[in-house]
Amino acid sequence: MTDTPARLIASASQTVGPFFHFGPGDHPQLGSLITPGTRGERLDLQVQVFDGDGAPVPDAFVEIWQADAEGRYVLPAPGAPRTDAFGGFGRLPTTADGSCTFQTIRPGRCGDDEAAHINLCVFMRGLLRHIYTRLYFAGDPHLDRDPVLALVPADRRATLLAHPQPAGSTTWTFAIHLQGDRETVFFDL
């Protein structure tokens, strides 16, 4: 017998949602991380969530958290007004095609070895616990040195890459596949 407490998780009767479209994320302003004074390369980040059959998930909820253009995370004191032009956090529900679009900037590198990335968290019906992943930018010359990406098997790293659409545009797309052959890499946090 051990003194370590058991880790409890919700049972199937306690699953989350689908209530995101009229609950905590039903305001499009929550998808804009930028203000007129925000420094950095502006982009529209379209995230699309797919289920195990490849069908869009129309009632998921996506949160993003990222560094600013200089690679710093903005952490204001709880309840304090935001003084920086960039908040670094956004949340949106997905639409009928399983997508949501954030207005943000390309984040700076956090340290010498990390490639620019955005952290994502997905909530949806049937998930007992939300899931975490990271988005990296295809073509970033620092991908080979990123210590977190190095933990991912080489044949799975492509599931963490966002791509410009069309090539060279300011719109980047990132697909989250919950299961299947193209399942996105998720992190156990």
- Residues spanned by the domain of 64: 13-177
State the average pLDDT over residues 133-145. Answer: 96
Classify residue 188: in a domain, yes or no: no
114 or 127: whose pLDDT is higher? Answer: 114
The predicted-structure confidence for 83-124, as pLDDT tens digits, reads as follows 567 889 999 999 999 999 999 999 999 988 899 999 999 998
Classify residue 5: in a domain, yes or no: no
Classify residue 141: in a domain, yes or no: yes
Q: How many domains does the chain have?
A: 1
Classify residue 111: in a domain, yes or no: yes
Classify residue 3: in a domain, yes or no: no
Classify residue 56: in a domain, yes or no: yes
Classify residue 2: in a domain, yes or no: no
pLDDT at 185 (0 to 100): 97
pLDDT at 127 (0 to 100): 77
> Is the distance from CB of 106 to CB of 40 less than 8 angstroms?
yes
Provide the CATH number for the domain around residue 172.
2.60.130.10
* Percentage, residues of the chain above pLDDT 70: 80
Q: Which two tokens stand for residue 134?
A: 């990271």
> Is the distance from CB of 25 to CB of 93 less than 8 angstroms?
yes
Torsion angle defined by CA atoms of residues 26, 32, 37 and 41, in that order, rounded to the nearest 10 degrees: 180
Is residue 19 over pLDDT 90?
no
What band does 25 get if pLDDT is binned at 50, 70 and 90? low
Classify residue 183: in a domain, yes or no: no
DSSP secondary structure letter of residue 40: S
Is residue 166 over pLDDT 90?
no
| The Cα angle at residue 75 between residues 20 and 32, in degrees rounded to 5 | 45
Q: Which of 29-43, 118-132, 156-170, 171-185 has the highest mean pLDDT?
A: 171-185
